[in-house]
Amino acid sequence: MAGATGYGQAAGVLARRYEAVAFEDVHRAALAWLPARPGRVIDIGAGTGRDAAALAARGHAVTAVEPTAEFRVAGRSLHGATIQWLDDSLPELRSVRGVFDLVLLSAVWMHLDRAERRAAMARISDLSAPGGRSILTLRHGPVPPGRRMFDVTVAETVESAGSQGLKVVHHSESADILSRPDVRWSCLVLARDGEVTP
């Protein structure tokens, strides 16, 4: 996946950075929207598996999708065998089967260009079980050297979701948890039209 450019070379440093912050802190705004009962969860762009491991600890059956081999190796080492790891990427996710109660895309969307984002939203819709939720975090800020990132807006994401029968049921903004002053985040929770309660 072109969006993974630059991550393999920096995997060691990035793995330590990812694992130094807790799932509950990163996703505080969306915690109320997590499935109340154990279900099927897919973490797309799972990195080292920090989020996947936290969701597995809550009783969910978790599939972690990560195109960077170095992160998959680190994730298996750090978080054991409770997570199913797949080497795949958006927008196609060719190896992913079935539907999920939660689709998580944390710090992924900005790696896709506009055409890829539209195709990826259709795939997210296909992966969403009835009553399921999708959580997306959108990064806003300068592109680090050697990375492939694009400007992503809440407005475009809302429109794209709507075209696939998904409605934004939560939207919040936050500062960067790593204290980078020029980076901020949007959190969106998507659900089928008419399904609006946590």
Taking the CA atoms of the chain, what radius of gyration do you get in angstroms? 15
State the pLDDT at residue 81. Answer: 73
Straight-line distance from the first to the last Cα atom of the chain, in angstroms, rounded to the nearest whole number:
33
Q: Which domains does the chain have, with CATH numbers?
A: 2-192 (3.40.50.150)
pLDDT in tens, 54-75: 999 999 999 999 998 888 988 8
State the pLDDT at residue 55. Answer: 97
- Residues in CB range of 12: below 8 A, 6 or more apart: 70
State the pLDDT at residue 6. Answer: 46
**How many CB atoms within 10 Å of residue 14?**
19
Q: Which residues of the chain are modeled with pLDDT < 70?
A: 1-16, 193-198
State the pLDDT at residue 18. Answer: 72
The dihedral over CA atoms of 119, 122, 124, 126, expressed in degrees to the nearest 10, equals: -140
pTM of the shown model: 0.89
State the pLDDT at residue 51. Answer: 96
State the pLDDT at residue 172. Answer: 97
Q: Please report the DSSP string for the chain in residue order.
A: -GGGTTTTTTHHHHHHHHHTS-HHHHTGGGGGGS-SS--EEEEET-TTSHHHHHHHHTT-EEEEE-S-HHHHHHHHHHHTTSEEEE---TTT-TT--S-EEEEEEES-GGGS-HHHHHHHHHHHHHHEEEEEEEEEEEEESPPPTT-------HHHHHHHHHHTTEEEEEEEEEE-TT--TT-EEEEEEEEETT----
Please give the Cα distance from 108 to 143 (Å, whole number).
Answer: 13
